[in-house]
């Protein structure tokens, strides 16, 4: 087992290193001079040159890459060109929005999807199953930004129950949570639809297995078998999807954070790309990539713990 973990870990690190090269190289060819953008239309060429030097942009690319990589290892992601603050601090500020948003969405989607999935599986083939899965199909087809648009106009503009966007900060936790509800629903619903379908099919598979039949034969109540025995065993594929969804939620919020103008990671990176704040883009992308790799690593190791056959294969 230890050697398997070591192997997975080293693969993860190699992937991360390759990804860092890709990120850096891609951003090198991004057109647009950050110094010019910071100074604006009427700045003189000398002023721009001075600033370029100040920002270290006159150094050759490989040198800057090594410099950046060295910083990464020590947890220093550099200093934002536009905000002139350490990138790590920006990330920390933005995570205070994105992480809770991702967690609330994850909670919402799980809270809706698992009961619906289990219910549909238990009624497999019946009308209620068809209705539940038909709704899920529509949910999967919903573009989350369109859902967001409709939610804002009903719940923020129309009913005025919830704010239409923006984020007041965590000094007022109630307001902060309120600001995250609509974005979280927009993100969670399409994900919940996918999760409900995965849960359902995993449950149907598990319900067909011998130990469930044995449990039923022993006279355990149907409800108990469903929730205790079957669900526990159906959790593995469900957890895999949850792992994937979490990294999606953390990164895939670019559009939703734009709709609700939330100061989260997604918007930070969108703005940074447009303003050519390359050091921020590099830092955030590599952190997101690292989190994806980490989550997959954890899922893989969990798998191996459950199913020893996987340790030798692949």
Q: Please list every residue from 75 through 114 that binds another protein, using CB under 8 A.
A: 82-85, 90, 93-94
> Which of 74/84 has CB closer to another protein?
84
Instruction: In whole angstroms, give the CA distance from residue 49 to residue 103.
Output: 44
Q: Does 174 bind another protein (CB under 8 A)?
A: no
User: Which residue among 6, 107, 146, 306 contacts another protein (CB under 8 A)?
Assistant: 146
Q: Which segment (27-35, 62-70, 105-113, 210-218) binds another protein by CB under 8 A?
A: 27-35
Residues in 34-53 that interact with another protein by CB under 8 A: 34, 36-44, 47, 50-51
How many Cα atoms within 13 Å fall on the side-chain side of residue 58? 7
Rounded Cα–Cα distance for residues 117 and 125 (Å): 13
Under rule CB under 8 A, residue 312 binds another protein: no
**Which residues touch 31 (CB under 8 Å, ≥6 apart)?**
none
In angstroms, give the least distance from the CB of 255 to another protein.
6
**Cα atoms in the 13 Å half-sphere on the side-chain side of 209:** 15
- Total interface residues for another protein by CB under 8 A: 102
Query: In terms of CB distance, is 215 or 270 closer to another protein?
Result: 270
CB of 277 to another protein, least distance (A): 9
- Cross-strand bridge partners of residue 86: 79
The verdict on 244 binding another protein (CB under 8 A) reads: yes
Minimum distance, C-beta of residue 224 to another protein, in the bound complex (Å):
25
Question: Does residue 119 touch another protein according to CB under 8 A?
Answer: no
Residues 6+ apart with CB under 8 A from 107: none
The stretch near another protein (CB under 8 A) out of 70-78, 106-114, 212-220, 250-258 is 250-258
Residues between 185 and 224 that touch another protein (CB under 8 A): 194, 197-198, 201, 204-205
Closest CA to 196 of 229, 161, 238, 244: 238
How far from each other are the two terminal CA atoms of the chain, in whole angstroms? 14
Closest approach, Cβ 44 to another protein, in A, equals: 6
Of the residues 101, 207, 273, 279, which one makes contact with another protein according to CB under 8 A? 273
For residue 132, what are its two tokens? Answer: 């539940």
Shortest Cβ distance from residue 213 to another protein (Å)? 17
Q: Under the criterion CB under 8 A, does residue 24 sit at the interface with another protein?
A: no
Quick check: 57 binds another protein (CB under 8 A)?
A: no
Query: Using CA atoms, how far apart are residues 194 and 104, in angstroms rounded to an integer?
Result: 17
Which backbone phi and psi does 109 adopt, to 5 degrees? -70, -35
Contact call for residues 165 and 261 (beta carbons, < 8 A): yes
**Binding-site member from 5, 69, 88, 156 for another protein (CB under 8 A):** 156
Nearer to another protein, 184 or 281 (CB): 281
Alpha helices (H) along 29-126? 34-39, 45-54, 61-73, 87-122
> 34 or 226, CB closer to another protein?
34
The per-residue b/e assignment along 160-170, b for 16 or more CB within 10 angstroms, e otherwise, is eebbbbebeee
CB of 31 to another protein, least distance (A): 6
Piece of the chain touching another protein by CB under 8 A; list 57-65, 105-113, 210-218, 239-247? 239-247
Scored b (16 or more CB within 10 A) or e, 203-226 reads bbebbeeeebeebeeeeeeeeebb
In this chain, which of 72, 268, 279, 287 binds another protein, going by CB under 8 A? 268
């Amino acid at each position: 087992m230890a050697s398997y973990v070591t192997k997975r870990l080293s693969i993860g690190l190699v992937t991360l290193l390759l990804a860092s090269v890709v990120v850096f190289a891609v951003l090198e060819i991004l057109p647009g001079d950050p110094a010019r953008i910071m100074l604006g239309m009427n700045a003189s060429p000398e002023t721009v040159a001075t600033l370029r030097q100040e920002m270290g942009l006159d150094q050759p690319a490989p040198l800057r890459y090594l410099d950046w990589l060295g910083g990464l290892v020590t947890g220093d992601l550099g200093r934002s060109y536009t905000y002139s603050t350490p990138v790590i601090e920006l990330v920390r500020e933005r995570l205070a929005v994105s992480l809770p948003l991702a967690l609330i969405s994850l909670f919402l989607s799980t809270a809706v999807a698992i009961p619906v999935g289990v219910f549909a599986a238990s009624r497999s083939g019946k009308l209620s199953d068809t209705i539940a899965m038909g709704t899920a199909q529509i949910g999967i087809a919903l573009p989350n930004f369109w859902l967001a648009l409709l939610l804002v106009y009903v719940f923020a503009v129309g009913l005025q129950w919830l704010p239409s966007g923006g984020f007041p900060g965590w000094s007022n936790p109630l307001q902060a949570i309120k600001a995250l509800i609509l974005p979280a629903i927009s993100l969670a619903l399409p994900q919940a639809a996918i999760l409900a379908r995965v849960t359902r099919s995993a449950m149907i598979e598990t319900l067909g297995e011998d130990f469930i039949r044995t449990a039923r034969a022993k006279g355990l109540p149907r409800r108990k078998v469903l929730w205790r025995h079957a669900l526990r065993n159906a959790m593995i594929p469900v957890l895999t999807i949850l792992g994937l969804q979490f990294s999606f939620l953390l990164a895939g919020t670019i559009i939703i954070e734009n709709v609700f103008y939330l100061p989260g990671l997604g918007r930070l990176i969108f703005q940074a790309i447009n303003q050519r704040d390359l050091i921020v883009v590099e830092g955030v992308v590599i952190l997101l990539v690292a989190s994806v790799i980490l989550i997959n690593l954890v899922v893989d190791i969990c798998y191996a713990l459950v199913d020893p056959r996987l340790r030798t294969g692949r």
